[in-house]
Amino acid sequence: MAETKTILRALAGETLPTPPIWMMRQAGRYLPEYKATRAQAGDFLSLCYNSELAAEVTLQPIRRYGFDAAILFADILLLPQALGADLWFVTGEGPRLSTITKQAEFDKLGRGEMIHDTLNPIYDTIRILRRELPEETTLIGFAGAPWTVATYMIAGRGTPDQGPAHALKYENRALFEAIIERLTESTIDYLSAQIDAGAEVVKIFDSWAGSLQGEDFHRYALYPARVITEELKRRHPGIPVIAFPRQAGDKYIGFHAATGADCVAVDDSVSPEWVAEHVQPGGCVQGNLASKHMVTGGQALVDETRKVVEALRNGPHIFNLGHGITPDADPENVQLMIDTVRSA
């Protein structure tokens, strides 16, 4: 039977008259219904591990807007937690983790099948979603890329320049590489279990790929993405993979071929015209409207949305923002973006 889900068609390389749409962080604090369910769950992590409520918030933007894909509601930092790191969220500030900068701290981490003890509720969320999603909606699973997750594990929090992770890389490269390897192998197991539960596509978020330069980019962003992609495709033939080496700039070029990813998601620091010329020849691209337009709206939103659609219409494209929607966004601007894409 011919594939009917538009996202899967774009990922298979088809150029569609209207690009399918979804939005990073589409279930989030800009939506009043999300805030209500999060309040019901108590805190963010309780929401992630409550399969019924996590499925509910995943479905909210699908009901409200009819996006072409739903993304599993979870977080990239659940994997380090499943490996044994402490994780908590400080309201208004973001994530905190126990730090890993010494061999003895690394040695306490687990490995292998044990991650599923913590992550089973996430797989249950996926099973609920496959039952409840409209049949035309694609379900995307995800994980953080090893480098990005390592930056949080090493620093114990988000950092503007990923300084502590870069420092460890120079001071104790063996330990740094052991962390990257442990994350690479457990990310494969995590995503593989998501696929077994019903995820139809997986996305690898490398939010801090842009701070890796030269050979480091090759070793710690590109190579892990390739190992993960190859092993997932070996275990699950045909599973589409979206890679997001955010702020990779010139290094977006050739990323499809070098990793085997079906789609490369691009942020808005590169223009859609540049992406059409240099990245889209390699395969499907996803992006890249600046998320600030979801706050500011108006004619600029319409013009910039059309620009992205126009620039990328001669090849496979999934419309998205360049990064996640922010809590100060206006839900009506999201509708305006969708209407603009679908009428362009």
Query: Can you tell me the distance from the alpha carbon of 184 to that of 24, in angstroms, rounded to the nearest whole number?
Result: 23
User: What SS3 class is residue 168?
Assistant: helix
41 binds ligand CP3 (CB under 6 A): no
Q: Please, what is the minimum distance in Å from the beta carbon of residue 30 to ligand CP3? A: 10
Q: Which residue has the tokens 């979870």?
A: 74
Nearest to ligand CP3 of 125, 229 (CB atom): 125
Query: Can you tell me the distance from the alpha carbon of 203 to that of 129, in angstroms, rounded to the nearest whole number?
Result: 17
Question: Which residue number has the CB closest to ligand CP3?
Answer: 207
| DSSP letter (8 states) at residue 135 | T
228 binds ligand CP3 (CB under 6 A): no
- On whether the CB atoms of residues 227 and 261 are closer than 8 A, the answer is no
Nearest to ligand CP3 of 76, 329 (CB atom): 76
Question: From the candidates 9, 25, 182, 246, which is the catalytic residue?
Answer: 25
Question: From the candidates 75, 189, 262, 268, which is the catalytic residue?
Answer: 75
268 is catalytic: no
342 is catalytic: no
* Residues in 114-153 that interact with ligand CP3 by CB under 6 A: 142, 144
Nearest to ligand CP3 of 127, 306 (CB atom): 127
Token pair belonging to 144: 């953080």
292 binds ligand CP3 (CB under 6 A): no
When binding is defined by CB under 6 A, the residue of 19, 20, 80, 95 that contacts ligand CP3 is 95
Question: From the candidates 9, 30, 34, 38, which is the catalytic residue?
Answer: 38
25 is catalytic: yes
Token pair belonging to 323: 């990064």
When binding is defined by CB under 6 A, the residue of 10, 76, 109, 242 that contacts ligand CP3 is 76
Task: Count the site residues for ligand CP3 by CB under 6 A.
Answer: 22
Q: How far is CA 48 from the centre of its chain?
A: 15
- On whether the CB atoms of residues 273 and 288 are closer than 8 A, the answer is no
205 binds ligand CP3 (CB under 6 A): yes
Token pair belonging to 190: 């995590």
29 is catalytic: yes
Q: How far is CA 302 from the centre of its chain?
A: 25
Query: Can you tell me the distance from the alpha carbon of 316 to that of 96, in angstroms, rounded to the nearest whole number?
Result: 38
Burial 190-219 (b: 16+ CB within 10 A, else e): bbbbbbebbbbbbbbbbbbbbbbeeeebee
Q: Please, what is the minimum distance in Å from the beta carbon of residue 281 to ligand CP3? A: 26
Nearest to ligand CP3 of 130, 313 (CB atom): 130
Token pair belonging to 196: 């077994």
Site for ligand CP3, rule CB under 6 A:
24-29, 38, 44, 71, 73-77, 94-95, 142, 144, 158, 205, 207, 324
Residues known to be catalytic: 25, 29, 38, 75, 152
